[in-house]
Structures are given as C-alpha cells and as structure tokens.
Amino acid sequence: MAEFVQLLFNGLVAGSIFGMAALGISLVYSVLHLVNFAAGDFLTLGAFTTFYLATSQHLPFVLAVILSMVIGVIVSLILEFILWRRLRRSGAGMLALFLVASGIAFILRQSIALTFGSDSRRFDLDQLTTYEFLGAQIARAQLIVLLCASIAITGIALFIKKSNIGKDMRAYADNASLAAVSGINVDRVIIATWTISGAYGALAGVFQGTVQGQFTNGMGLDLLLAILAAVVLGTIGDAYGALIGGFVLGVVMDLSTWDALAGGIPSTYKPVVGFAVLVIVLLFKPEGIFGVRARKI
C-alpha cells in the first residue's frame, strides 16, 4: 500500500508538470495551428532564469519565479512579433512552420547553454523534509509543487472558461474566419495565447527543476516527447484534454514501476510505457481521449 501511494503521488506531481507544459502547446496549436517544438526549451529557460535570479541576484525565490515567467512571456511575444506573425502573413505552409519551430528550439537551447553554461544546477531548496502518509514518504518540495501546479491549472481553466478573452480564444479556435468578422480582436487572442504558453512553460520548468533536484540545459529536450505525448493523448488542440493527458501519462508511467505489477519495470523504461499507453488509446480513439473535440480549446 505504501509503495502504491508513493508512486501515485509521484505520478500526480509528474502529471501536473506534463499537463502545464502540454497546455501551452495545445493552446498554440488550437489558435495558430502551429506545433511549438520550442516548448521544452521554455521549461529550461524558466528553470535557469529562476536559478540565476535567486542565486546570483539574491532575489526571493518566489519573486525569481514570477520574473522568470515574465521573461518567458517576453521571449514568446518577441518571437510572435518578429517571426510567427510575418510567417502567417506570408502564407508559410505547415512544413515551413515545422522547420522554423525546430530551428527556434535549437537556437533557444544553445542560447541558454551559452548564457548560463552547461553545468547542472540545483535550487537552494529543502529537498530532504518529508511527511509520512499511509506509509509513504511525501517530500515537502513535491507537495508544494503539486499544490502550486493545481492552483495554476485551476486558475487557467477558469480563465479560459469564464473570462472574455478566454471566450474569444475558444471562439477563434472553433472558427477563425467567423470570429474575425464578428468583431473579435484577433491580435489580442494571439497575444494572450503566447502569454499563457510562455508563462506556464517557464513555471513548469521551475517545478520540474524542483522535483528533479538538479537540472541541465537539456532538461526541456528530455521532456519534450513526453509533453507532446500528453498533448496527443488528451486530443491535440484541446486545452482541458492536454491537462488530463498529462496527469494520465504521469500516473501511468510511475505506477508501471510498482512491484505488485509482476515486479514492475525499471524506472528507465517509464517513457516506453507512456508511449505504449498512447498507442493503445489512439488505436481505439484516433483523435485522443476527447475525440471529436480535436483542435478546440
């Protein structure tokens, strides 16, 4: 029982991070029909800028996290204004957008390495304190991450559902042409989309760096396939589906190591289990968990 509780909790923590990162990818795809392959590197950017601000500039950790989210937003908007907007107006095709997105990911990854170095980093946070729950040892750092991620996820879900800009985003994702002629401010929708993607990507990176204990400039690349799998599992373009897909993937991957399941599998093979689940789901629901709601917020 204790092992199950431990693995379930670890899976929920991992799933919350996958879900937050997948949310940004799904939003961008639903609004702009662009797969943002640089999303993983925004996680790395968030972790490294937070480390720099908290360690080198001696800012309070919470303030450093907020500023790293702002930096993530700024980088996202710079790319929108100088690159993505021009490509859309020039009528760039899917292949061109794919190649550009891959190039941006590479450039951002190398820029982080040149700016911050290639050494691993570790947040100056308490990683040792644990609480016992049903025999499991729940790390305080993981508990804080899960609580904060849950608040962030609930907040963005309510924002998309209740706010005017959220309603505009959903309308634009459903029918871009009709939304444009009905008076919706398209530029505002696009800016809001990149803002959410940049901020939540950076925050997810901070959470991942906290959970891992230490991180390198390859952290985002290591997580990118799992994040994309969560997007597809939850139905690509569906923001709520991305969140659920992230949680499902995280829980299944961690529970696959449970000894009660025929001894479990080695932890290094957890990503294989995640993709196996993705394949099985897609065999029965090719558009993901939410099926016909594909490409909708």
User: Tens digit of pLDDT for each residue in 55-82?
Assistant: 888 899 999 999 999 999 999 999 999 9
The single residue listed with the structure tokens 């952290």 is 219
- Return the domain boundaries, the chain: 2-293
Q: CA 57 from chain center: how many Å?
A: 27
**What pLDDT digit, counting tens, does each position of 89-101 carry?**
887 788 888 889 8
Alpha carbon distances (Å) from 244 to 18, 26, 118, 218, 239 = 9, 12, 33, 25, 9
What's the CA gap between 214 and 232, in Å, rounded?
Answer: 28
pLDDT at 271 over 80: no
Is residue 1 exposed (0-12), middle (13-18) or buried (19+ Cβ within 10 Å)?
exposed
Is residue 189 exposed (0-12), middle (13-18) or buried (19+ Cβ within 10 Å)?
buried
Nearest residue to 179 (alpha-carbon basis) of 27, 33, 31, 295 = 31
* Res 295: pLDDT: 47
* Res 236: pLDDT: 77
* Res 74: pLDDT: 95
Fold topology of 2-293: ABC transporter involved in vitamin B12 uptake, BtuC (1.10.3470)
Q: What are 198's two structure tokens? A: 């940049």
What's the CA gap between 114 and 138, in Å, rounded?
Answer: 36
β-sheet bridge partners, residue 130: 139
**What pLDDT digit, counting tens, does each position of 251-270 carry?**
888 888 887 776 678 877 78
pLDDT at 117 over 60: yes
**What pLDDT digit, counting tens, does each position of 196-242 carry?**
999 999 999 999 999 888 888 888 888 888 888 888 888 777 778 88
Alpha carbon distances (Å) from 215 to 5, 48, 50, 119, 173 = 26, 9, 12, 9, 35
